[in-house]
């Protein structure tokens, strides 16, 4: 079990250590390189910086917030330098419907050419029914049904957010995701275990929690579950606070109608340790992944794809 060490000093983002171990010339992308795509980083480079030695291949596994408002210069980095082949979008249908048709400065919404986009919303029917709707009172449940037939999807999202998601908190949301998102997690691992899908970028809206969960599961699967491994995963997750620093006011404005408190604006200390404990309660990462359909061969391929020494 991971035991927090309050005296442990994480590497700083200003460190310039670069262990580019891929044979390609793919650039190691960080969020300082992009202007309108926030919270973006090369997970391999982050792990190598943390461990102080080459552990993961760089230029293959990226994470970020939404890509919709990427500038032409951002797109050049994502297509030219990074040469993305796959983009995994974890946002829900409701979130995608709220994306405007143009960026704030009037340009069309960005499309990363040459990359296949996989829509894997980290909310499914089981999650909706058993993690969210089951927690509503009967009057509220009936209200949701009426809103559904009237087509008030945004009103439903607001109601569920205020009555269920906010009380759950970030740790509670992660617990429900681990419990109910088996098919989506399996889909995510199917992509990452296929060597032909790289380089791959995974994102949600902020690139913090849902993206953080997917990243946590992948890193647990390839690195392990030792204290050092969990500290490395926590280091990557907490970098979202810096990656989203310029977006905080906009995030607050977007989240206000849904009743989200300020705590939801930040990566939460202790979130990684709590989520790892959930996985441990299910027998550890390999047993948990097996329970959702990820095989030992899938994990072997994943390690071969991302680790320098599988």
Three-state SS across 65-128?
A: CCCCCCCHHHHHHHHHHCCCCEEEECCCHHHHHCCCCECCCCCECCCCCCCEEEECCCCCHHHH
Lowest mean pLDDT among 32-36, 53-57, 62-66, 301-305: 32-36
Q: Which domains does the chain have, with CATH numbers?
A: 31-306 (3.90.190.10)
Q: Is the dihedral of CA 265, 270, 276, 280 positive or negative?
A: negative
Q: Which pLDDT score, from 0 to 100, does residue 10 have?
A: 52
61-65, 136-140, 152-156, range with greatest mean pLDDT: 61-65
Q: Is the pLDDT of residue 166 over 60?
A: yes
Asked if 116 contacts 86 with a C-beta cutoff of 8 angstroms, the reply is yes
- What tokens were used for 237? 């997750």
Q: Which pLDDT score, from 0 to 100, does residue 22 have?
A: 41
State the average pLDDT for the chain: 87
Q: Is the pLDDT of residue 178 over 50?
A: yes
Q: How many angstroms separate the CA atoms of 202 and 247, rounded?
A: 19
Q: Is the pLDDT of residue 150 over 70?
A: yes
Q: How confident is the model at residue 21 (pLDDT cuts 50, 70, 90)?
A: very low
Asked if 170 contacts 271 with a C-beta cutoff of 8 angstroms, the reply is yes
């Amino acid at each position: 079990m991971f035991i927090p060490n309050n005296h442990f000093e994480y590497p700083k983002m200003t460190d310039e250590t670069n262990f580019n171990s891929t044979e390609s010339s793919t650039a190691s992308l960080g969020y300082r390189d992009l202007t309108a795509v926030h919270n973006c980083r090369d997970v391999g480079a982050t792990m190598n910086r943390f461990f102080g030695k080459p552990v993961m291949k760089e230029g293959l596994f990226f994470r970020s917030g939404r890509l919709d408002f990427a500038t032409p210069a951002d797109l050049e980095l994502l297509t030219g330098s990074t040469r993305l082949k796959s983009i995994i979008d974890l946002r829900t249908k409701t979130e995608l419907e709220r994306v405007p048709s143009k960026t704030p400065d009037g340009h069309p919404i960005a499309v990363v050419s040459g990359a296949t986009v996989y829509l894997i919303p980290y909310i499914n029917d089981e999650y909706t029914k058993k993690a969210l709707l089951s927690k509503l009172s009967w009057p509220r449940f009936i209200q949701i049904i009426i809103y559904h037939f009237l087509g008030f999807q945004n009103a439903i999202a607001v109601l569920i957010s205020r009555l269920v998601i906010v009380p759950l908190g970030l740790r509670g949301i992660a617990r429900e995701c681990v419990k109910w998102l088996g098919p989506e997690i399996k889909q995510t691992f199917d992509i990452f275990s296929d060597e032909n899908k790289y380089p791959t970028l995974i994102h949600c809206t902020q690139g913090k929690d849902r993206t953080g969960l997917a990243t946590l599961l992948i890193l647990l699967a390839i690195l392990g579950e030792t204290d050092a491994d969990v500290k490395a995963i926590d280091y990557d997750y907490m970098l979202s606070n810096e990656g989203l620093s310029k977006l905080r006011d906009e995030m607050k404005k977007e989240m206000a109608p849904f009743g989200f408190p300020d705590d939801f604006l930040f990566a939460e200390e202790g979130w990684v340790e709590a989520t790892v404990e959930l996985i441990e309660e299910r027998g550890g990462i390999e047993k948990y992944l097996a329970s959702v359909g990820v095989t030992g061969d899938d994990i072997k391929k994943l390690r071969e794809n991302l680790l320098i020494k599988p």
